[in-house]
Amino acid sequence: MRQPMTSLLIIDPQYDFYDVPVNEQFTLDSEHQEKTIAPALPVPGAWNDAQRLANFIVKQQQHIHSILVTLDSHNEYDIAHAVYWQNKSGEHPAPFTLISHQNIVDGIWLPTKPELIEHVLAYTQSLEQAGKYSLIIWPTHCVMGTAGHNIVEPIQTAIQSWEQQTNTQHISISKGENPHTEHYGGCEAEYPLADDKNTQFDPQLVELVKQNDHVLISGQALSHCVASTVEQMVDKLTQDEIRKLTLLVDTTSPVAGFEQQAKAFIEKMAHLGVHITKSEDVIFN
């Protein structure tokens, strides 16, 4: 009898999203030095989420046939970072500033590169018409080459243990490199760009579901990149395929202030047929 195929999808398990204890240190491979991390956008509860997910991977590694990890990967100059924008006085917006289409029309916030005015007008109009996330200026985070872009140590160690035990390499999917569009979900950017196929729909995660019997989902943050990724996947799946998905709800948490959005997402997914369970309650056939 064929053993069911199970994959684990971990969304953006990177240092900048984890509320790392102040005394916790990590090693940068490039320098082999111990450093203390100061996460840019720590999600409350995420460090404990990481411990639970790491324990789950180690305990259940013989049941996990593949691990895919999405990595939020930004430049310092990014449409959701302050340096991309300025007001009439040349000041950049503070973190968590919302920038609406009307703000741009009124000249409250403008791109630091004036030639991008038509792009940002079309961009914000598209977001608002589609009812997607409003354009929010996040603290500069997950910049490629920085410590915050690295996979958080407990999860990284667990993945390495799984690789050693299964003789299998995990797969990484990078998203967010294009500075002119946000990329919450692992399937496509919020505003796909015609001249960049990396912002357009990537069927890889949908195919993952089709090729497996079960896909377990974890990562950060529940309210944003986890929610967006799962919603993008579900939109392309049949009802039977949606039932293959299990959200490990005790290994993911919402951004502070977005708890209601996370709650609504979980309720919506449960209604559609996604299994919502704790890691300790997962049963493998």
Average pLDDT over residues 91-104: 97
The mean pLDDT value of the chain amounts to 94
- Residue 30 above 60 pLDDT? no
Query: What integer pLDDT is reported at residue 131 of this predicted model?
Result: 86
pLDDT tens for residues 98-157? Answer: 999 999 999 999 999 999 999 999 999 999 999 877 899 999 999 999 999 999 999 999
Average pLDDT over residues 245-260: 97
CA-to-CA distance for 83 and 135, rounded, in angstroms? 14
- Residue 29 above 80 pLDDT? no
- Residue 278 above 90 pLDDT? yes
pLDDT tens for residues 214-232? Answer: 999 999 999 999 999 999 9
pLDDT above 70 covers what percent of the chain? 95
Query: What integer pLDDT is reported at residue 133 of this predicted model?
Result: 78
Query: What integer pLDDT is reported at residue 58 of this predicted model?
Result: 97
Per the structure block, which two tokens stand in for 179? Answer: 């500075």
Average pLDDT over residues 164-188: 97
CA-to-CA distance for 216 and 59, rounded, in angstroms? 15
Model confidence at 38, pLDDT cuts 50, 70, 90, reads: confident
- Residue 28 above 70 pLDDT? no
- Residue 177 above 70 pLDDT? yes
Average pLDDT over residues 40-66: 97
Which residues lie below 8 Å from residue 138, measured CB to CB, with a gap of 6+? 40, 41, 80, 81, 95, 96
Q: In Å, how far are 33, 147, 157, 222 from 36, measured between CA atoms?
A: 10, 10, 18, 25
Question: Rounded to the nearest 5 degrees, what angle is found at the Cα of 71, between the Cα atoms of 206 and 8?
Answer: 50
- Residue 270 above 60 pLDDT? yes
Query: What integer pLDDT is reported at residue 32 of this predicted model?
Result: 57
Task: Tell me if the pTM is above 0.85.
Answer: yes
Annotate 146-157 with b (16+ C-beta within 10 A) or e (fewer).
bbbbbbbbbbbe
Of 166, 196, 203, 237, the closest CA to residue 6 belongs to 166
Model confidence at 22, pLDDT cuts 50, 70, 90, reads: confident
Q: In Å, how far are 133, 135, 231 from 96, measured between CA atoms?
A: 13, 9, 24
Query: What integer pLDDT is reported at residue 25 of this predicted model?
Result: 56
